[in-house]
């Protein structure tokens, strides 16, 4: 089994303040997944511009100070959930177009968190879909939280990857991003930037520009923290550039492609 994470930055225009799809990338990615013919596959995608603006605007996950603020956050919770559901619809549309039996599994319907970390999830349906040869498609979402001070939280696709990997024990994890992997500095600003083929701890990223950039899911530091925790427990992952033609296909087929291995 393979868990494939598609970053929100690769399937949407994350730099936009309104939900904006990247249809060209979605079309090509769906085609490459189809050609790879993976027998057991779970796809998890980020929320990108469909989720982050709403979650940030309404402060989902922050402390609720009064009833008025609670009412506002409830609206934000609903708007965020509806928006990421729309993105998931588009993702599944392209997958189905290329013959992939994609089926939506919305995290808000079966996951609960505690202090913004997944506490419980009923994976029975997801496992049944896999047994039937269907492809469950999950996504970054908002969920109910056990902490009464916040009551609602954002659960990132990266956190879902970690949780599913611990429970379902996939053979491989591939993370499709909009960059070739992790660099020792920003390749867009420095010609001498070098791709790190292997990352084993946050200490390896001491000089990584943007590692502390924060969005509602914790930014790059949050994403790498999830992957390093996963590696510590025995499951390595591979970050590749799914924005480049053929790279995702090669990775799915087990070929050596340009990227960064996250391992212990």
What CATH number did the domain enclosing 33 receive?
3.40.1160.10
pLDDT for 138:
98
Angstrom distance (rounded) from CA 177 to CA 11: 9
What's the pTM?
A: 0.90
Q: Which domain holds residue 196?
A: 2-262
Helices (H), the chain: 8-11, 23-36, 48-57, 67-97, 124-131, 157-168, 219-232, 247-252
Helices (H), 189-234: 219-232
- pLDDT at position 248 is 97
> Which ranges of the chain have pLDDT less than 50?
209-218
pLDDT (tens digit per residue) in 92-125: 999 999 999 999 999 999 999 999 999 999 999 9
pLDDT of residue 13: 87
Domains contained in the chain, number: 1
| pLDDT computed for residue 95 by the predictor | 98
| pLDDT for 168 | 95
Question: For residue 214, what pLDDT is reported?
Answer: 38
Alpha-carbon distance of 247 to 260, in angstroms, equals: 13
Q: Are strands 182-183 and 195-196 parallel, antiparallel or unpaired?
A: antiparallel
């Amino acid at each position: 089994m393979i868990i494939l994470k598609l970053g929100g930055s690769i399937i949407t225009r994350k730099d936009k303040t309104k939900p904006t799809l990247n249809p060209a990338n979605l079309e090509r990615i769906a085609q490459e997944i189809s050609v790879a013919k993976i027998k057991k596959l779970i796809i998890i995608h980020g929320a990108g511009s469909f989720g982050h603006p709403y979650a940030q605007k309404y402060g989902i996950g922050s402390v609720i100070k009064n009833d008025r603020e609670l009412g506002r956050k409830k609206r934000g919770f609903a708007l965020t959930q509806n928006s990421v559901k729309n993105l998931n619809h588009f993702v599944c549309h392209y997958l189905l177009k290329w013959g992939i039996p994609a089926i939506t599994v919305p995290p808000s319907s079966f996951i609960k968190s505690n202090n913004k970390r997944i506490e419980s999830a009923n994976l029975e349906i997801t496992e049944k879909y896999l047994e039937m040869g269907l492809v469950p498609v999950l996504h970054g979402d908002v969920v109910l939280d056990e902490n009464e001070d916040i009551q609602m939280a954002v659960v990132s696709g990266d956190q879902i990857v970690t949780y599913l990997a611990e429970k379902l024990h996939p053979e491989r994890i591939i993370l499709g991003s909009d960059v070739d992997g992790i660099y020792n500095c920003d390749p867009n600003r420095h010609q001498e930037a070098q791709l790190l083929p292997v990352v084993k701890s946050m200490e390896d990223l001491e000089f990584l520009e943007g590692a502390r950039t924060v969005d509602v899911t914790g930014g790059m530091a949050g994403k790498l923290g999830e992957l390093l925790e996963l590696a510590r427990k025995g499951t390595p992952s591979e970050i590749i550039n799914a924005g480049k033609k053929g790279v995702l296909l090669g990775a799915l087929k087990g070929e050596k492609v340009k990227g960064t291995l996250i391992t212990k």
